[in-house]
Amino acid sequence: MSGYRLGDTEVADTFAEAFPMRYARLVVTAATADWAYEAARSATGFATSVIGCKCEAAIERSLSPEQTPDGRPGIAVLLFAMDRESVGKRALDRVGQCVMTCPTTACFDGLESAEKTVGLGAGLRYFGDGFQASKVIAGRRFWRIPVMEGEFLVSDSLGVGSGVGGGNLVIGAAEDTGALAAAQAAAEAIRGEGIALPFPGGIARSGSKVGALTSSSMPASTNHQMAPTLRAQVDDTLVPEGVGAVFEIVIDGVDEEAVREAMRRGLHAAAAAGAAHVSSVNFGGKLGEFHFPLSELQDPP
């Protein structure tokens, strides 16, 4: 497959295909940064793909006390789903089970300017069994829910924004150690405000395709075109000779530009870290309305 080169890295002439998604930003605070992180880590578990997890979520960034509503250390979490109702349901479940249960935490809406909202504390308040109390501050309603430690403070609702899900880079090298090092460098460069990397460490080893060749009941199956061990067994492989291991980075973002620039940062970081080949996954342009050609990412970030 023709393309261009960044140093010693071959970049395929292809594009990433992504989809419109809805998202919320949760601001989780706690008495210490460690407890805020524990709550955020728990809340973003089992959230790698809407295919099997019903949502995609990740820690966006750490927040200083000056950046949070209650002046305590915090973590911003991005949660993506296919529609507004799904965002609300997944956020309610995860905050109720993973944030409210965590020592010293509170949870706030990090997208207050959004036009559309879903309930959060409005649903969680019933856990208070009639002992909960509400307070309106600067036009925003909060709920104080009694718990054994004291009170859990939570925003009544969450703003829901329109985002982009499914930007991606596929990073390969001769051996798994080199491919993983390049993928880790890319993931580190990609992370930042407005970006969520939902897979473990931001990296997926089991990229998938739509459906399956052998079963009509599978919504997704192994991407045989990107599997180096199948190169000699399939006639449509996309793995070049000399590439023995491949990792995929899936990128969700708050808008098209955020995803594009994240891909740019990741591409150049992977090349600098020694990737032999970088490509992207798409569906022929038939499914997702957002296209990110790698040819447009040659300029460094």
User: What are the structural domains of the chain?
Assistant: 3-18+163-297 (3.30.70.520), 22-161 (3.30.70.520)
- Round to the nearest angstrom and report the end-to-end CA distance of the chain: 25
Compute how many other C-beta atoms are within 10 angstroms of the C-beta atom of residue 35.
Answer: 19
Q: How far apart are CA 9 and CA 275, in angstroms?
A: 6
The tens digit of pLDDT for each residue in 193-237 reads 999 999 999 999 999 988 998 988 899 999 999 999 999 999 999
The rounded distance, in Å, linking the Cα atoms of 106 and 236 is: 51
For tokens 């296209």, what's the residue?
Answer: 291
Average pLDDT over residues 60-75: 98
The pLDDT of residue 113: 85
Average pLDDT over all residues of the chain: 96
Segment 230-247 mean pLDDT: 95
Distance CA 90, CA 79 (A): 8
Say if residues 208 and 222 touch (Cβ distance below 8 Å).
Answer: yes
Q: What mean pLDDT do residues 77-104 have?
A: 98
Given a cut of 60, whether residue 1 has pLDDT beyond it is no
The sign of the torsion formed by the CA atoms of 107, 110, 111, 112 equals positive
**Confidence check: pLDDT of 9 > 90:** yes
Q: Looking at residues 43-49, what average pLDDT do you find?
A: 98
Q: What is the pLDDT of residues 124-178, one digit of tens each?
A: 999 999 999 999 998 899 999 999 999 999 999 999 999 999 999 999 999 999 9
- Which pLDDT score is estimated for 114? 87
**pLDDT tens-digit series, residues 135-145:** 999 889 999 99
Q: Beta 140-146 vs 116-119: how paired, if at all?
A: unpaired
Looking at residue 222, what is its pLDDT?
92
pLDDT at 189: 98
Q: Is the pLDDT of residue 98 over 80?
A: yes
Question: What is the SS3 assignment for 221?
Answer: strand
Tokens representing residue 21 in the block: 């998604």
Note the pLDDT tens digit of each residue in 25-38: 999 999 999 999 99
Among residues of the chain, what percentage have pLDDT more than 90?
93
Side-chain-side CA neighbours of residue 223 (13 Å): 20
Compute the radius of gyration of the chain from its Cα atoms: 21
- Closest C-alpha among 218, 213, 215 to residue 227: 213
